[in-house]
Chains A and B, each alone.
Chain A
Amino acid sequence: MPTAPDALRFTPPLDALKLTGIRKTFGGTTILSGFSLDVPEGQRLALIGGSGSGKTTVLRLIAGLERPDAGEIELFGRQLPYRRFAGRLIPDDPPEARELRRPVGMVFQHFNLFQHLTALENVIEAPIHVLGQSPAEARRAAMALLDSVGLADLADRYPRQLSGGQQQRVAIVRALALKPRVLLFDEVTASLDPEKVAEVLAVMRALAADERVTMIIVTHEMGFAREVADRVVFMQRGVIVEDTPAAAFFAAPQDPRSRAFLNLAS
């Protein structure tokens, strides 16, 4: 089927992501029940709330690291299939789910760089073995990305030879190397030394300037959320308490629970 070039094609505003009626329990504890959320393409969504509010679970469901007990997840209008029991070692979803999730990238709180690979090898692993790029091509792109976050010199170091902030920047680059259209950030600065937080936030700030990428940011950095996000979803015990434009949220939170949270956080 012939398609028009992107610039000429009329594209109605499309939800990058749509969660409907999600229920998720862990060993009898209900984390989410009937959770729904629409995220338009290009939005910078800050997902905030105390620990146990379910915000990380939302990210992990989108990324395919958890399976919902009920409900649907749609990515760019396509519903994601999943298996109920997916194996004890490597969760295994149908291949079409993996295909549909291609546009999604995720960065973790604990970086999770591959310990047996260097920084560069971490970044080129998926472009070569998932996208099928040539090693030379992947290497060139990876070096450019590493350079853009100031880590070209450290490309040949192993993760344990890097500081937390450096590891997290490599992890972001590793996600970017697959050119994601949706990026999930799970408390990416929470396990960093305070003086390393800024270098990671700077990288994310630069990313946020690219309007095409949808970002969902789970964070405790209220200052950063205020600066980068254009929408805030505040969660408590698996329920959305407040869902407003970021500016409104930080200026005057409506719900007493969000007010209490903001007071504590700042």
Chain B
Amino acid sequence: MMFQLDYAGELLPILLEASLVTLGATLGGMALALVLGLALALLRRSPHAVLRRPASMFVEFVRSTPLLIQIFFIYYVLPLYGVRIPTVACGIVALGLHYATYTAEVYRAGIEAVPRGQWEAGRALSLPAYRIWRHIVLPQALPPVVPALGNYLIAMFKETPLLAVIGVHELLGTALQEASQTYRYYEPLTLVGLIFLAFSLIAALILRRVEVRLADRS
């Protein structure tokens, strides 16, 4: 079976449009993961076990179970309890929740790398905990972990095809739909692979740039 360039040429605009959905889901999921992950990281450092324990258990549990099942769970189970959100939003929530447990670990590493003395200095000035976090610890903890967060952005991007299983028309879903109409899988799936490869390589280059920038600053 030959790779038909004509057909590939027809597909390309359709797939590139679908890649906007992929990118949108990635950015939405990442935004959620960044915020929720920070919340989880802070909760896990709380002095109150009531906050710390559930946060830790949530992280362990979500990290140890497949994203695919989590997507099904959010898509099929939540509506039964009256939570009705659009399909794409289901996907974004699933991605965001799943990756929040990874970003939480990244934040934790960043926070733990801030020397104890910084905390002690803040307390010696009798600053409230909120101000120590906001103005002393986090500004030092976050910049070094930007590359690690960037890696998870790329990882999440590569997991967006899973959203096809609940009918999100991102890259893979669109490609499979096209393929089911023409019974040709070769061109659509190859193109999807190439588009992912292109995006990943670009993202990796940008990330390397950011790393160099950060290294220069410190």
In the complex, A touching B (Cβ < 8 A): no
